[in-house]
């Protein structure tokens, strides 16, 4: 179950036509838990750092911890989704999105959602040149 989840995540990433390189690593911390982490580089030089920790409970896979940190080529924050337990005042606690202007509520996105958001940013940037 964990392998299938990680394979689907990796397939979504490598299938994105704007991705030029990936460096993903899987680790299993027990029979029921594991994580995937790594970096994805896009055609404009921007980078997404990915982390997902998953657990199987009652024959269901749950993402227990995640972060999707998207940066400019010079490592400046564009956005970051995560579920670190800070910002308890946000209505989607612990899920939230960091922007250069601050944190706001956001549901946990799928990797496909994050990639689509990045693709829109990259396409807009590339077409402006």
Q: Cα dist. 73→2, 20, 77, 94, 122 in Å?
A: 32, 13, 10, 28, 12
Q: What pLDDT, on a 0 to 100 scale, did the predictor assign at position 126?
A: 84
Q: What pLDDT, on a 0 to 100 scale, did the predictor assign at position 128?
A: 83
Residues 6+ apart with CB under 8 A from 41: 19, 20, 21, 22, 47
* Domain extents in the chain: 2-128
Q: What pLDDT, on a 0 to 100 scale, did the predictor assign at position 45?
A: 97
- Kindly give the confidence (pLDDT) of every residue in the chain, 129 residues in length, as a single tens digit, with 9 standing for 90 and above: 999 999 999 999 999 999 999 999 999 999 999 999 999 999 999 999 999 999 999 999 999 999 999 999 999 999 999 999 999 999 999 999 999 999 999 999 999 999 999 999 999 988 886
The closest alpha carbon to 38, from 52, 58, 19, belongs to 52
Q: What pLDDT, on a 0 to 100 scale, did the predictor assign at position 129?
A: 66
């Amino acid at each position: 179950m964990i392998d299938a989840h990680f394979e689907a995540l990796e397939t979504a990433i490598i299938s994105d036509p704007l991705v030029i390189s990936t460096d993903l690593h899987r680790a299993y911390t027990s029979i029921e838990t594991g994580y995937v982490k790594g970096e994805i580089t896009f055609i404009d030089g921007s980078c997404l750092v990915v982390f997902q920790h998953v657990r199987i409970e009652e024959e269901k896979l749950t993402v227990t911890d995640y972060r999707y940190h998207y940066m400019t080529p010079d490592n400046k924050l564009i956005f970051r989704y995560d579920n670190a337990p800070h910002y308890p005042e946000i209505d989607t606690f612990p899920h939230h999105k960091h922007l250069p202007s601050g944190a706001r509520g956001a549901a946990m996105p799928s990797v496909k959602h994050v990639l689509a958001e990045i693709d829109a940013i990259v396409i807009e940037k590339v077409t402006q040149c």
